[in-house]
Chains A and B, each alone.
Chain A
Amino acid sequence: MKTENLSSFDMPAADMDPALFFETAASRLGAGGRTLAYFAVPEGPEHRLVMAIGFDREGRVEVYSCRAAGPSFRALTPSFPQLHLFEREIFEQSGLKPEGHPWLKPIRFNTPGAVPGVADFFTVHGSQVHEVAVGPVHAGVIEPGHFRFQCHGEKVFHLEIMLGYQHRGVERRLSAGPDARSLHYAETLAGDTTAGHVWAYCSALEALAGVNVPPRAQVLRGIMLELERLANHTGDLGALAGDVAFLPTANFCGRLRGDFLNMTALVCGNRFGRNMFRPGGVNFDLDFALIKELRLRLQDTFRGVENAVGLLWETGSVADRFEDTGVVSRETAEGLGLVGPAARASGVPLDTRRNFPYGPYEDFTVSVSGSGDVYSRAYVRWLEIQKSAELVAGWLDALPEGPLAADCGPLRPDSAAVALTEGWRGQICHFALTGPDGRLRHYKVVDPSFHNWQGLAMALRGGEISDFPLCNKSFNLSYCGRDL
């Protein structure tokens, strides 16, 4: 059935006959749809399959569901690779087997007896082929993940990424809500994406409760999300410079990222934007003095970023490292359903703020760069930094008057809502289902990293193994967001 971003609907209306479900899903995906979420909901001893498909050009969301008949179902991955991780997840969580899935193995190792990292790996045989295993414990202070390279000398034939070490069971915990802890879980779904995830969570609840968020709260939310984007993109560009040992940019971006985080702290008291959002609105307001201070800091910091990042584009030795490294073609990006800057760097004009407008975003224009390499992924970030700074400055100048929050009442029973937001890493999808008692029956979170990890693996194919850290940084994906 057709619905749209941030509106609730009756779940039974999406129900279909199983055979028809797979036919419809295949035809809708074939018609240019992109999987937003695909998961199994337990219903007594059985399971229900639910798929949400987004049509980016029309800004439409379609939801289909069916009762899973029998212990297996038809895998659509062979025709639509973007589903490969979703089907593996369904298999792991519900035991329903996707028949015909080409690489069926656990993704989070959260079933009894499963040990993270213990599974079959794709291998390449040959007298001169060697395997390099990296992680899960890394040299830097980063999240754990295991990477297996099949190499011929310095050339990478194949990279397999095995994650799951960060699984916390947070989705299951959210499904029991909403309770006093839910909001805090939503804020920490991925540590660096507080505003993105908590906005999606609040929006899902607001849609189910039928609440309209006051305009002032919408704009304040927008300011938090764009500050988060500014901080992370600036940090990423600095880290990219650091990876090619280009110190001028690396040195300054670390500090500038801190300046953006401090601006966030100025608004809500926390550098990562925690405690700002609540269902129905926001918790903290901006007064005249604070607006003035933020405006000054934004100007200053943006000028700093402009100078530091400008060096990246002007320095030949940097361009030589960034260009043609880790290329992901547009076909690959679309086939895998990549989202966020990674997709836009491959020329896919997808940005939730434009395609599925929400909150304070109107007439947003997407920043796209076409070459799909590290340079492109860096450059898209710079374009987005400029746009975010412009948005925040505009909002600070014209903050609508009004209350900070509306009362978020009880949730509609037996309903569902899809909430899409554009986190700094890409599109975030939250899918909430309520039971007959008006409490959450199932809560599904799809972090942009869930889509994009496979993009990183493809970026390395045929590339140099020494370029992996650079490619990895250019995607900068979340481990815990994917492992949940």
Chain B
Amino acid sequence: MEIIKPFSQYLAAMLLAPLLPGIINRVKAFFGGRRGQPALQLYFDLYKLFRKTPVYSRTATWVFRAGPVTGVCALVTALLVLPFAGRPSFLAFEGDFIFLLYLLGLARFATVLAALDTGSAFEGMGASREVQFAVFAEPAFFLGLAALARVGGQTSLSGMFAALTPETWRVAAPVLALLTAAFFIVLLAENSRVPADDPNTHLELTMIHEVMVLDHSGPDLAYILYGAALKLWLFAALIASMVLPRRTGSWAGDSALFLLAVLGVAVAVGVVESVLARLRLTKVPYLLITAFAFSALALIFQVGR
């Protein structure tokens, strides 16, 4: 029976992830004095896209077709090691946070290869930008997770977050605050949100992530959109578990609190997008270097504690 809880947690994450972009859009609409699209819009879009026939360019190879599937598979697998509400995940082993990082890397690699395979100038440009910014985003994320591992003395994600309690916030507040800030910046950059990227623009020349997936259609596009939602969920869940370590004894209470916190992260993203302009492309690395510095400081504080 012990398998039911992790399984339902996993299922909840998979099912609820597409809600987050909807929440962000609603927050932005609220700030703009509009009603905005339905919060469930992405579910409708996915349903629509899955019924469509994909269109492939004559010059694209299997690499192009494999990209979206590989990407979404990598993220579905990554969610396996992601703890839910501080409870152990489906799969947990020593050093699984490195496994998670590599899965994210694999998803990126597949998307970039598929983009390059189209031979389009736009997509090549997007791929170049994506990889360039990943160089700054990945170390920030990796170092942050390493600091978190030091905090709990555990190297599995489930262990790290299980060791995190409200007590930890009392003794290691600077470390956790720095990590929260670093992860939030990485979330914005990795999920093509303002100020790193503009998810709403139709202008290919300014895009980073969106421009790589311009040629995908039908179910392939659905995989990409769903994968993006899962990725957003993944980062939001990490931040939520960190900001609100469990305190009630009941599984249901913890889960509800956790879900609220995840939605809270989405609202925060929406607020950031409503009040900030996007950064100049050349300045995005500075933002990510800031995240890296936060992570590095957190690690130093933790080691010296």
Contact = CB atoms under 8 A, between A and B. Distances in A.
B216 interface: no
B157 to A, nearest CB: 32
B278 interface: yes
A252 B121 CA distance: 35
A246 B276 contact: yes
A465 B125 contact: yes
A466 B277 contact: no
Contacts of A132: 121-122, 125, 205
Interface in A365-382: none
A468 B195 CA distance: 18
Contacts of B125: 132, 154, 465
A133 interface: yes
Interface string A449-462: 00000000000000
A246 B200 CA distance: 11
Nearest to A147: B205
Nearest to A317: B277
Contacts of A467: 206, 280-281
Contacts of A245: 194-195, 198, 200-201, 273, 276-278
A180 B198 CA distance: 48
Contact of A320 (B34, B201, B205, B280): B280
Contacts of B277: 241, 244-246, 315, 317-318, 320-321
B274 A317 contact: no
A131 B281 contact: no
A92 interface: no
Given A134-B204, A139-B202, A246-B276, A464 B282 contact: yes
Nearest to B128: A153
A243 to B, nearest CB: 7
A315 B274 CA distance: 12
Given A247-B273, A248-B274, A139 B203 contact: yes
A464 B201 CA distance: 17
B281 A154 contact: yes
A154 B28 CA distance: 30
A142 to B, nearest CB: 10
B32 interface: yes
A120 to B, nearest CB: 19
Contacts of B33: 251-252
B303 interface: no
B133 to A, nearest CB: 12
A457 to B, nearest CB: 15
Contacts of A466: 205-206, 280-281
Contacts of A251: 31-34
Nearest to A154: B281
B275 interface: yes
A113 interface: no
Contacts of A317: 195, 276-279
Interface string A315-328: 10110110001000
Nearest to A133: B121
Contacts of B282: 154, 464
27 contacts: A132-B121, A132-B125, A132-B205, A133-B121, A139-B202, A139-B204, A154-B281, A154-B282, A245-B194, A245-B195, A245-B198, A245-B200, A246-B277, A246-B278, A247-B273, A248-B31, A248-B274, A252-B33, A315-B277, A317-B278, A320-B280, A320-B283, A321-B279, A464-B281, A469-B201, A469-B205, A470-B206
Given A134-B205, A154-B281, A467-B281, 20 more contacts: A133-B121, A134-B204, A139-B204, A140-B203, A243-B201, A244-B278, A245-B200, A245-B277, A245-B278, A247-B274, A251-B32, A317-B278, A320-B277, A320-B280, A321-B278, A321-B280, A464-B282, A465-B125, A466-B205, A469-B203
Interface of A: 130-134, 139-140, 153-154, 241, 243-248, 250-252, 315, 317-318, 320-321, 325, 464-470
